């Protein structure tokens, strides 16, 4: 049995919750019907559920529930300070909440939030208030070297907190790359060595990379993986150096989502799509690729997945793992679950709205 | 007194929202008054820099306001202000 029994699904039309009951995952409830939910997340320390809303009309909003959705409370969404500018003459305002991550276990109430247009926000009071991390916002070169990838402006989609050291954090930005702090956000370093940005005049530029999703192995956080716009990359030295582990046959190449096993740093998953101007399933067939040897080879798993006329791709937050269970949701509203580490899949739904995020929780 | 009316869509988030009357003389002042009456609502209409959200419109009588950035449009006592959402999305 998995250690998770709820599944939070952020979709284009609301927050959908599935529950594990008598061995079956079934729909339990839907919240915020009609409103895009960019991220749905549970803080495992407090079992607080978070819903990051992206109203088309009314801006980004933030809601939390401490009773598994029975009641929701709107929290003031983070605000860019007066005078903050994306670049000269362009005022900064919150355009999307694209990453949400709890702080370390020794930092109760600490939350991190990544946003478009590139601001990292932090809370120390369980989200009652959020403040912009000014040091990162003022990182040299942000205005000149960061730019939008899939969004109008640069956006933070990944926040990785080192379980050994709560002051040690990585963030992933489309497009800028990977950045690291070892002092809780006071100072930052670029960590893009070894990445390749084929779309830049200089593919080895220090900044301007597009890591679509950044993850670390919980039991060995020096091993990080990223599904990048230009392939799949792995680091074994805490992001100081990245190596290209894209599949030789190029199937496991372009995509958005990435997962790594919590115990085995050599085992990771991606869900490929056709790069990059097309963005549909490869050859009309949905496939999950897994490596068991640190990226030397990638196996293809198709059992239970559509193999004809599939247009599904999987967004960066729409794949999650809990023990042997994996789940992903697609752009065409399919939701698939595996209980054997991705080798066989079962559809939980074919009728969801476009899926933005999936998240296992209690 | 200037009448201020709201799109029904905002009542989903502010169930107690009703048409109101105000003596304020600019759109910015009216939004500040609305925020006092319905805390948090201003953030649905303008962003944190005070700029009107892209898919929100405000009419004075039957004319869209001109200044979406500083909200300096003036209103007269016999005007009606209507705050609405743009007809977009899907």
Compute the distance between CA of residue A305 and CA of residue A336 in angstroms, rounded to an integer. Answer: 8
Is there a domain that residue B90 lies in? no
In which band, very low, low, confident or very high, does the pLDDT at A149 lie, cut at 50, 70 and 90? Answer: confident
Res. B89 pLDDT band, cuts 50 70 90? low
Stated as kind and residue range, the H or E segment containing A135 is helix A134-137
Residue B19 located in a structural domain: yes
- Structure confidence at residue B5 (pLDDT): 96
Is the residue at B6 inside a domain?
A: yes
CATH at B80: 3.10.20.30
Q: Would residue B53 count as lying in a domain?
A: yes
Q: Is position B77 within any domain?
A: yes
pLDDT at residue B86 above 80? no
Q: Kindly report the length of chain B.
A: 90
Which contiguous run of DSSP H or E holds residue A220?
strand A220-228
Higher pLDDT, A248 or A197: A197
Query: What does the pLDDT look like over B4-45, one tens digit per residue?
Result: 999 989 999 999 999 999 999 999 999 999 999 999 999 999
Q: How far is B64 from chain A (nearest CA, A)?
A: 17
B28 domain residue, yes or no: yes
Percent of chain A with pLDDT over 70: 99
Average pLDDT of span A300-328: 97
Residue B70 in domain: yes
Contact criterion met (CB below 8 Å) for A119 and A80: yes
Mean pLDDT, chain B, integer: 93
Split into its structural domains, chain B has a count of 1
List the single residue in A56, A77, A80 with the smallest CB-CB distance to B89. A56
pLDDT (tens digit, 9 = 90+) per residue, A201-257? 899 999 999 999 999 999 999 999 999 999 999 999 999 999 999 988 789 999 999
For chain B positions 15-34, those within 8 Å of chain A (CB to CB) are: none
Q: How far B45 CA lies from chain A's nearest CA (Å)?
A: 6
Residue B58's domain comprises 2-85
**Residue pLDDT, tens place only, A13-26:** 999 999 999 999 99
Which chain B residues are closer than 8 Å to A121 by Cβ? none
Angle at A210 between CA A205 and CA A215, to 5 degrees: 120
Note whether A91 contacts B49, CB cutoff 8 Å: yes
Residue A278's pLDDT band, with cuts at 50, 70 and 90, is confident
Cβ contact, residue pair B88, A93, below 8 Å:
no
Contacts of A94 in chain B (CB under 8 A): 47-48
Q: Which residues are within 8 A (CB) of A99 and not within 5 positions of it... i.e. 6 or more apart? A: A39, A112, A113, A114, A115, A156, A157, A158, A159, A171
Q: What is the pLDDT of residue B90?
A: 63
């Amino acid at each position: 049995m998995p250690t998770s029994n709820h599944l939070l699904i952020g979709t284009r039309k609301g927050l959908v919750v599935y529950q594990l009951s008598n061995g079956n995952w079934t729909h339990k409830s839907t919240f915020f019907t009609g409103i895009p939910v960019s991220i749905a997340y549970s803080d495992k320390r407090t079992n607080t559920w978070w819903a990051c809303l992206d109203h088309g009309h009314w801006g980004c909003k933030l809601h939390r529930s401490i009773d598994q959705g029975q009641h929701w409370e709107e929290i003031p969404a983070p605000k860019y300070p007066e005078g903050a500018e994306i670049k000269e003459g362009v005022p900064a305002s919150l355009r999307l909440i694209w990453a949400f991550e709890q702080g370390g276990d020794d930092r109760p109430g600490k939350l991190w939030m990544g946003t478009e247009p590139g601001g990292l926000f932090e809370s120390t009071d369980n989200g009652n208030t959020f403040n912009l991390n000014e040091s990162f916002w003022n990182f040299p070169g942000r205005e000149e070297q960061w730019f939008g990838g899939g969004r109008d402006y640069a956006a933070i989609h990944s926040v990785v907190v080192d379980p050994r050291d709560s002051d040690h954090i990585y963030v992933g930005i489309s497009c800028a790359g990977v950045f690291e702090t070892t002092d809780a956000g006071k100072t930052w370093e670029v960590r893009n060595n070894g990445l390749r940005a084929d779309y830049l005049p200089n593919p080895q530029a220090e900044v301007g990379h597009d890591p679509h999703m950044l993850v670390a192995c919980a039991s060995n956080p020096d091993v990080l993986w990223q599904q990048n716009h230009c392939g799949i990359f792995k680091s074994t030295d805490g992001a100081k150096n990245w190596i290209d582990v894209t599949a030789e046959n190029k199937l496991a190449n372009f995509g958005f989502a990435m997962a790594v096993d919590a115990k085995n740093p050599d085992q990771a998953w991606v869900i490929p799509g056709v790069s990059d101007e097309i963005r549909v399933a490869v050859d009309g067939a949905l496939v999950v690729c897994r490596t068991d040897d640190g990226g030397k080879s990638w196996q293809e798993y198709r059992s239970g997945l559509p193999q004809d006329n599939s247009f599904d791709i999987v967004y960066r937050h729409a794949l999650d793992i809990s023990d042997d269970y994996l789940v992903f949701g697609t752009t065409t509203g399919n939701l698939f679950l595996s209980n054997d580490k991705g080798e066989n899949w079962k559809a939980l739904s074919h009728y969801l709205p476009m899926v933005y995020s999936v998240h296992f929780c209690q | 007194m200037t009448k201020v009316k709201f799109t029904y869509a905002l009542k989903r988030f502010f169930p107690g929202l009703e048409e109101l009357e105000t003596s304020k003389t600019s759109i910015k002042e009216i939004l500040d008054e609305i925020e006092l009456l319905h805390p948090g609502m201003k953030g649905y209409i303008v962003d944190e820099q005070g700029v009107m959200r892209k898919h929100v419109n405000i009419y004075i009588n039957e004319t869209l306001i001109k200044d979406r950035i500083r909200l300096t449009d003036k209103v007269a006592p016999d005007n009606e202000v209507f705050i609405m959402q743009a007809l977009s999305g899907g």
